[in-house]
Amino acid sequence: MNKKILSLVIVLAATSVAFAQKLDRSIRPAAGVAPEIKLGKIEKFTLENGLKVFVVENHKLPKVAYSLSLNVDPVLEGDMAGYLDLTGQLMERGTKNRTKQQFDEEIDFIGARLSTSRSGVYGGALKKHQEKLLDMMADVVMNADFKQEELDKLKKQTISGIASSKDDPDAIAANARAVLAYGKNHPYGEIPTEATVENVTLEKCTEYYKTYFKPNVAYLAVVGDVTVEEVKALTEKYFGKWEKGTVPMNKYKTPLAPEKNRVAFVHKEGAVQSVINIGHPINLKQNNPDAIKAKVMNTILGGGMTGRLFMNLRETHGYTYGAYSSIRPDKLVGIFGTNAKVRNEVTDSSVIQFMVELNRMRDEKVSEEDLQSVKNYMTGTFAYTLQDPQTIARFAINKERYNLPDDYYANYLKNLAAVTVDDIQAMAKKYIKPENMTILVVGNKSEVAEKLAPFAASKKVDFYDTYGNDWVEPLKAAPAGVTAESILDKYIVAKYGMAPGKALDKKLKKIKDVTIKREASMQGQTLTFTQYTKAPNKFAMSITMGAMVIQKQTFDGVKGKVSGMQGNSDIEGDELEALKESSKMFADVDYAAAGNTYALLGVEPIEGKDAYKIEVTSKSGDKQTEWYDVASNMQVKAMAVNDLGEAGGVVTTTTMFYDYKVVDGINYAHKINQAAGPQVFDMIIKSVEHNTKLGDDVFQ
């Protein structure tokens, strides 16, 4: 070893020993002095039209960003809920001076970013392109030209997203939580639906744009390789002609916490886990001196993986992958809430533990060690955010928007360091009301709901639909004598034109292989799904985009494989067994042979038409729900729930079947809509071919 290095090691070792001898580990070190915050220089000026401009110089890179935001009261959208977001999206769909295509081409040519929303416009580019960027931003702000065809496209996309979210438990919980916390007559409690989005008119979008996009209620944050004098000249040049105007002020009744605990339940078909949200509105504005203390309290309770809720429900009891809490100040009305996703069988136990921790937070003082640990974490997080100049600009705007003290952020860490154990308990007692909570659960009604009644002061559960409306039982009893088996028998007759439960008739025996090609669009790209089956039990499915194979799944009668962009793997275990069953040609003709059990649940409307609802339980215990149209006997819907573990969570796959057409005597659904989590596909059959003499190599 090098002598100099050896000497250094000896010195360090000796120092460590001496330090260890002097250190009394029974005495907790005193907290250090809160570091002084230097936010950097923020210049501010106001144009004659009232536009407030904030400039943060950052000359490290030749880049610049302009962020325009409106400071207006929330707007009640009524029977056109969703039109504000559509207005924001329309703004970048063309102006009086540029078509949408020209707009997109000009942005791409300079390699810039420009996006619009209901509350502002953001643009970022290289310094040398900033005048071009500003010209386009000003054009959007002052000259947006809304077109009906663009609105129609956006409405269609929005409605498609709403449709897919109906099966997303998190989206359902968010909808119901908003309505129950704020009420339908408050802007925070409005939920866009297919109907309200369909109601949106071009005139309404134009009205909002012309009424609220005014310079006298706008802030412009400029960050990057610029000088204040330069920005003054540029903003005057591009935004100086923007005309100010009177902007409406909107006031709303402040939502209150429930007088007593209530349990709200939203049924989610086939759910194997429950989404729990527990909370209530609070009176906490951003400029309230309590804001920092309340944030520290919430971080201890459930602000992350070291929070009490996480440690209790996950680490101690194993009920969930994660449990959290949040406290959000707001100039209208704040909100406190907790949340977790838990297994059906432990839903009531999880609610108990939530309430244990909420009461514990109020009744017991936290330890000095826990408090200091959280303050250290929050200090580090705050200091890290200061590296981003955009943060500095946002701080400056926040001070204006929320009427914060001039030294609010400069003294943030001092105020954080001053939070005491007594402060934490005071915040808990003030903002956590365990007796005034809405306990909202989205889950399986038959397995969970009844167990939750004891948590309500009324000792009963209130039921709601996916939009927070009072729930009406859609399921009716099936006519006497109708069974799941009789429904499936009629389906087979309708699909194949043959009697069920018998050997395949001559027509089906003549079909040795089937090839079905479907197309679907995703993010502007066309995907092709090609399905191959060959008697008696070979199967393959390939998903391609142009000439590129995205994924291929095969079963050769014995082995199953999946290959794609992420590599190749064998299909094994329960997945292989399921693949074996699904690979049999025309297996549904003799459905009894699969070993499944079938239960008729009743009659339920599907898109306005009555359908028989059947629960199918496989030999392995997995369940799927299927719906068959009462009039046509054809299958119209299927739904399955898959638990993908901690990484993927629980995903509900809902499939809708439309447009049945006969090919060689067999009814095929020529349009299939499938939603799996956030992904939605409209698959259209392009061709169905029988007996193309498929080789076995297709299934390898």
Q: Give the model's pLDDT for residue 387.
A: 82
Highest mean pLDDT among 3-17, 256-270, 573-587: 256-270
Q: Residue 22's pLDDT is what?
A: 45
Mean pLDDT value across residues 9-35: 43
pLDDT score, position 367: 96
**Dihedrals φ, ψ of 30, to 5°?**
-70, 145
Give 424-466 pLDDT, tens digit per residue. 999 999 999 999 999 999 999 989 999 999 999 999 999 999 9
Predicted confidence at residue 10, as pLDDT, reads: 27
- Residue 533 domain-assigned? yes
Cβ distance 312 to 353 under 8 Å?
yes
More confident: 211 or 591: 211
Residue 396 CA, chain-centre distance (Å), reads 30
What does the pLDDT look like over 601-646, one tens digit per residue?
A: 999 999 889 999 999 998 878 888 999 999 999 999 998 877 666 5
Q: With cut-offs at 50, 70 and 90, classify the pLDDT of residue 648.
A: low
Task: Place 14 in a pLDDT band, splitting at 50, 70 and 90.
Answer: very low
For 235, residues 6+ apart whose C-beta sits below 8 A from its C-beta are 47, 51, 53, 134, 220, 222
pLDDT class of 32 with cuts at 50, 70, 90 = low
Tokens of 592: 């009894």
Please list, in sequence order, all residues whose beta carbon lies within 8 angstroms of the beta carbon of residue 612, skipping any fewer than 6 positions away.
478, 482, 484, 487, 600, 602, 603, 627, 628, 630
Q: 538 and 444 in one domain? A: no
Per-residue three-class SS string for 630-673 = CCCCCEEEEEEEEECHHHHCEEEEEEEEEEEEEECCEEEEEEEE
> Of 271-285, 418-432, 489-503, where does mean pLDDT reach its minimum?
489-503
Q: Are 156 and 48 in a shared domain?
A: yes
Q: For residues 351 and 428, give the distance between their C-alpha atoms in angstroms, rounded to a whole number.
A: 18
- Provide mean pLDDT across the span 6-23: 34
CA 414 – CA 292 distance, rounded (Å): 11
Percent of the chain with pLDDT over 70: 92
pLDDT higher for 509 or 116?
116
Between residues 28 and 685, the one the model is more confident about? 685
Starting at the earlier edge strand, list the strands of the sheet with 273-282.
Answer: 320-328, 334-343, 273-282, 438-443, 262-267, 461-464
**284 vs 271, higher pLDDT:** 284
Please report whether residue 418 resides in a domain: yes
The confidence score (pLDDT) of residue 35 equals 61
The answer to which of 120-129, 480-489, 637-646 has the lowest mean pLDDT is: 637-646
> What amino acid is encoded at 121 in this protein?
V
Average of pLDDT values for 246-254? 94
Check which CATH number belongs to the domain holding 83 and give it.
Answer: 3.30.830.10
Per the structure, how many domains does the chain have?
3
pLDDT of residue 2: 40
CA distances from 36 to 31, 410, 587 (A): 15, 8, 73
DSSP alpha helix (H) spans, 23-116: 83-90, 100-109
Angle between helices 130-143 and 100-109 (to 10 degrees): 160
Longest dimension (CA), the chain: 96
The reported pLDDT for the residue numbered 581 is 81
Residue 245 lies in a domain: no
Query: What confidence tier does 166 reach under pLDDT thresholds 50, 70, 90?
Result: confident
**For residue 612, which of 487, 446, 453 has the smallest C-alpha distance?**
487
**Distance (Å) of CA 99 to CA 67, 92, 201:** 23, 10, 21
DSSP of 172-206: HHHHHHHHHHH-TTSGGG----HHHHHH--HHHHH
Which are the contacts of 456, defined by CB distance < 8 A and separation ≥ 6? 261, 262, 263, 439, 462
Is the residue at 548 inside a domain? yes
On the question of pLDDT at 40 being above 70, the answer is no
Distances (CA, A) of 223 to 71, 127, 216, 404, 624: 19, 11, 21, 21, 54
Question: DSSP assignment of 666-699, as one string?
Answer: EEEEEEEEEEETTEEEEEEEEEEEE-----GGGG
> Are 460 and 519 contained in the same domain?
no
Residue-level pLDDT at 283: 96
403 and 521 within one domain: no
Report pLDDT for 4: 33
- Looking at the structure, tell me whether residues 376 and 338 fall in a common domain: yes
Q: Are strands 513-522 and 438-443 parallel, antiparallel or unpaired?
A: unpaired
Residue 20 lies in a domain: no
Residue 584's pLDDT is 86
Does residue 16 register a pLDDT over 60?
A: no
Between CA 397 and CA 418 the distance in angstroms is: 25
Same domain? 654 vs 586? yes
Count the alpha carbons within 13 Å of 590 in the hemisphere toward its beta carbon.
10
pLDDT at 28 over 80: no
| Nearest partner of 416 among 357, 358, 365, 373, judged by Cα | 373
31 falls within a domain:
no
Question: 687 has which bridge partners?
Answer: 517
pLDDT tens digits along 530-573: 999 999 999 999 999 888 888 999 999 999 999 887 788 988 88
Q: 35: which 2 tokens?
A: 């570091």
pLDDT at 386 over 50: yes
Measured in whole angstroms, how far is the alpha carbon of residue 191 from the centre of its chain?
Answer: 15
* Cα separation, 114 vs 108, whole angstroms: 10
Residue 485 confidence (pLDDT): 94
Query: What pLDDT was estimated at residue 601?
Result: 94
pLDDT over threshold 90, residue 210 = yes
Residues 334-380: tens digit of each pLDDT? 999 999 999 999 999 999 999 999 999 999 999 999 999 999 999 99
Q: Residue 489 sits in a domain of what CATH number?
A: 2.50.20.10
Same domain flag for 315 and 453: yes
517 in a structural domain: yes
Contact 237, 47 (CB under 8 A): no
441 and 306 in a common domain: yes
More confident residue, 537 or 500: 537
Per-residue model confidence as pLDDT tens digits over 395-431: 989 999 999 998 899 899 999 999 999 999 999 999 9
E-strand spans in 348-404?
A: none
59: buried, middle or exposed (CB in 10 Å: 19+, 13-18, 0-12)?
A: exposed
Our measurement of the distance from residue 619's CA atom to the centroid of its chain's CA atoms, rounded to an integer in Å, reads 34
> pLDDT value at position 30?
55
Question: Is the model's pLDDT at 135 over the cut of 50?
Answer: yes
By percentage, how much of the chain surpasses pLDDT 90?
Answer: 73
Q: Is 548 found in the same domain as 457?
A: no
Joined tokens for residue 33:
């002095």
Average pLDDT over residues 166-172: 88
Residues 494 and 628 placed together within one structural domain of the fold: yes
231 and 110 in a single domain? The answer is: yes
**pLDDT for 650-697, tens place per residue?**
778 889 999 999 998 899 999 998 887 667 778 999 999 999 999 999
Cα distances from 371 to residues 35, 296, 416, 422, in angstroms, run 18, 8, 11, 11
Does residue 530 fall inside a structural domain?
yes
Residue 17 scores a pLDDT above 60: no
pLDDT band at 490 (very low <50, low <70, confident <90, very high): very high
For 381, counting Cβ atoms within 10 Å of its Cβ (0-12 exposed, 13-18 middle, 19+ buried), the class is: exposed
Residues in the chain: 700
455 and 564 share one domain = no
Q: Is the pLDDT of residue 499 over 80?
A: no
Whether 51 has a pLDDT exceeding 90, the answer reads yes
The yes-or-no verdict on residue 15 having pLDDT over 80 is no
Domain that holds residue 571: 484-699
pLDDT, position 31? 56
pLDDT digits (tens, 9 = 90+) for 281-309: 999 999 999 999 999 999 999 999 999 99
Computed over every residue of the chain, the mean pLDDT equals 89
Q: What is the pLDDT of residue 589?
A: 85
